[in-house]
Amino acid sequence: MDKILEFKQQCTKRIANNAKNKSLQDSAKLFADETLKSQYSYNFSWMGRPIIQYPQDMIAMQEIIWEVKPDLIIETGIAHGGSIIMYASLLELIGKGQVLGIDIEIREHNRIEIEKHPMFKRITMFEGSSISDEMAAKVKDYAKNYNKILVVLDSNHTHSHVLKELELYAPLVSKESYCVVFDTIVEDLPAESFPDRPWGKGNNPKTAAYEFLKTHDEFVIDKSIQNKLLITVAPDGYLKRIK
């Protein structure tokens, strides 16, 4: 057997076994629960800009981008800009592609740092609500010139907001690409975890993703990603377009 194929098959088997390993799953959940309390995800940066993500999900996004090689990555939610800079840097390595970031408010100090970054050459930013009719039309018009598109949703985490984003932007996703819904982990955390937020158990990105999937069989949850990562803020949130 070809050694490269053999290694890939071994990886696939290990990942599948992770899903059945209760001890491993429990350990991963304990780690996630404790680190979320300590704001662990705020500790990292990408090429100098804060990226509010878990390293495991950053690796998953790298793997997806390298596999899909999208012409355009659309992300709702910019914050400090670490994610869009990461995506832009990966596209720079691939040698093609643009990133479109959308945020209801791009804070001036963040805008300045993003715009002077060397990866800004592959970034466009739109300011405004991602679920407004005007923004949806603007994004669709921008995206019409791109063939292979990947979408990442990471803005307001309420059920209604994420569901609306899914309805607006998931149709832009190319076959064999992904719509990644971040922070689905909210559904799996104790109800009192977000006392100062409008989202929580029963009202979050995961409930929105489940609702969306009921009527959109062109997407499936790629369970292999969360089984590989074990620690992720997006369980059941890596949605792959299969048709």
pLDDT beyond 90 at 53: yes
Q: Do 89 and 57 contact (CB within 8 A), yes or no?
A: no
User: Among residues 48, 15, 49, which one has the least CA distance to residue 232?
Assistant: 15
Over residues 221-238, the pLDDT tens digits come to: 999 999 999 999 999 999
| pLDDT at res. 1 | 64
Residue 116: both structure tokens together: 């002077």
What value does the mean pLDDT take over residues 22-48? 94
Kindly list the distances between the CA atom of residue 45 and the CA atoms of 51, 131, 166, 236, in Å, as whole numbers in the listed order. Answer: 5, 28, 27, 25
The domain ranges of the chain are: 3-241
Residue 138: both structure tokens together: 């603007």
| pLDDT at res. 191 | 81
Question: CATH number of 3-241: 3.40.1190.10, 3.40.50.150, 3.30.930.10, 3.30.1390.20?
Answer: 3.40.50.150
